[in-house]
Structure 1
Amino acid sequence: MESALPDLTHMPNLVPSAFRPTDTAPLAAPIRATHPPRILLLHGSLRARSFSRLLNEEAARVLTALGAEPRIFDPTGLPQPDTAPADHPKVAELRAAAEWSEGMVWCSPERHGSMTSILKSQIDWMPLKLGAVRPTQGKTLAVMQVSGGSQSFNTVGQLRILGRWMRMLTIPNQSSVPKAFLEFDDNDRMKPSPLYNRMVDVMEELVKFTWLTRDLSPHLTDRYSERVETAEELSARVNQKQT
């Protein structure tokens, strides 16, 4: 339940009209949607046999089995950021998919100790703000990487930083697949292994977190600083009309 408004006279930096005590009622009994969680999967390679794409395809199969609705975005033909208008067909497709989604999976190869430009370009095309809507804010995120060599966590660590920057709820678990060329059979299916099991763990956790948070996202991401800005804009408009 929402607490009574405290005495703020000793806190002159706070804007009373924008400050709200924590309301726990929406957290305790939110109105739950019943449709399958909508998960967008992005991969970071354009190779014909892309192991980040193959890992995402395996993840999509698991997501479907868990009752989610996955959608894999094909980055082929997506222009580099700032080289095309936002109404470019591939950009529009990506942004529409981002708005449709309630959670995401970002899976990139590790190249030179980092994520690929292919994956980064997809994220860069997603604006923090589109009109009055933040397309990624409050959505869940799972991060995965594939490597040609030994085990590494450089890329998933960087993806976590990006997820935080995009105001997403990145789940605790993650998947890193070393020597990925050994983990897929001739039919491009992932072989049974502890690495496969970890990927299933990640998808299972992503679906649970998406069910848990998607209906609470507006409440969880409601920010004092943005309410202050809105209050200031409203005040400016009112004062302008009065002058």
Structure 2
Amino acid sequence: MSDLPNTLKQALHKVDASKLAAPKSSHAPKILLLCGSLRKISYSRLLTQEAARLLQHFGAEIRIYDPAGLPLPDDAPIDHPKVQELRELSLWSEGQVWTSPERHGAMTGVMKSQIDWIPLAMGSIRPTQGRTLAVMQVSGGSQSFNAVNQMRVLGRWMRMITIPNQSSVAKAYQEFDEQGRMKPSAYYDRVVDVMEELVKFTLLTRDVSGYLTDRYSERKESAAELEQRVNSRLAV
């Protein structure tokens, strides 16, 4: 420890490989899907529904959140029913899928509002930390990655484990049939890949997410707070 003088000894732990052992949970992975559109005919919603079918095939339990009626961030109290529903679903989930249209070169306000209503922390609980995340987007024109790239940044900010693969569907109006099902294509194959990968990463990390996100800086802060409380009691 002498060569690490700037660290707090009691908060600096060695990596314990035994805490990254084989998963123990046997229940179906719990996946929440968010969609960034309110349109009556929404290709991002159709893509979300297609993803949900695939996730169920791969053994997941799914919930799709309907953003209709969700107020703008800070325009309603946190006990608003749609806000509470979203936060409870985030806590329920072990992984999430975020799907947004690209509008003006970015994700939609509908998508961003949903993410903004999910706080980094609720007391001692973090609604997103350690959960897996897959990101997808649809475009009306040529293929773009602006929305998925933005959602990746937000996923990192929300302390989520964003999987390597992603989906971007160009000219989405050509990729769905009259029944709302996605047509066979390389785009569809990529969606299959992404959902399969999400389930695998969720199974791999869900039982160890607490350990994976256990940070030296937070342990150091907790140790300092504990020391301060002890010293306050002794001073009484």
* TM-score interval for Structure 1 and Structure 2 normalised by the shorter chain: over 0.9
TM-superposed CA distance for 1:242, in Å, is 1.2
CA distance in 2, matches of 1:28, 1:97: 27
Q: What secondary structure is seen at the aligned counterpart in 1 of 2:114?
A: helix
Q: Which runs of 5+ in 2 are unaligned?
A: none
TM-superposed CA distance for 1:234, in Å, is 0.5
CA distance in 2, matches of 1:27, 1:66: 23
Is residue 2:65 matched to residue 1:73? yes
Q: 1:123-146, CA deviations, whole angstroms, 9 ceiling, x for partnerless residues? A: 001100111011101100000000
TM-superposed CA distance for 1:29, in Å, is 3.9
CA distance in 2, matches of 1:50, 1:37: 27
Alignment partner, residue 140 of structure 1: 132
Aligned residue among 115, 120, 123 for 2:107: 115
Alignment partner, residue 130 of structure 1: 122
CA distance in 2, matches of 1:71, 1:11: 47
CA distance in 1, matches of 2:22, 2:120: 29
Alignment partner, residue 55 of structure 1: 47
Q: TM-score, normalised by structure 1?
A: 0.95
Alignment partner, residue 12 of structure 1: 5
Alignment partner, residue 89 of structure 2: 97
Q: 1:156-188, CA deviations, whole angstroms, 9 ceiling, x for partnerless residues? A: 111110100001100010000011111111111
Runs (4+) of structure 1 exceeding 3 A deviation are none
Aligned residue among 144, 149, 159 for 2:141: 149
Alignment partner, residue 240 of structure 1: 232
Q: CA RMSD in A?
A: 0.8
Q: Percent identity?
A: 66
Q: What secondary structure is seen at the aligned counterpart in 2 of 1:141?
A: strand
Q: Which runs of 5+ in 1 are unaligned?
A: 1-7
CA distance in 1, matches of 2:4, 2:191: 48
CA distance in 2, matches of 1:89, 1:29: 38
Q: TM-score, normalised by structure 2?
A: 0.98
Alignment partner, residue 23 of structure 1: 16
TM-superposed CA distance for 1:28, in Å, is 2.8
Alignment partner, residue 170 of structure 2: 178
CA distance in 2, matches of 1:22, 1:188: 48
CA distance in 2, matches of 1:12, 1:26: 27
TM-superposed CA distance for 1:218, in Å, is 0.6
TM-superposed CA distance for 1:151, in Å, is 0.6
Q: What secondary structure is seen at the aligned counterpart in 1 of 2:187?
A: helix
Alignment partner, residue 216 of structure 1: 208
Alignment partner, residue 218 of structure 2: 226
Alignment partner, residue 200 of structure 1: 192
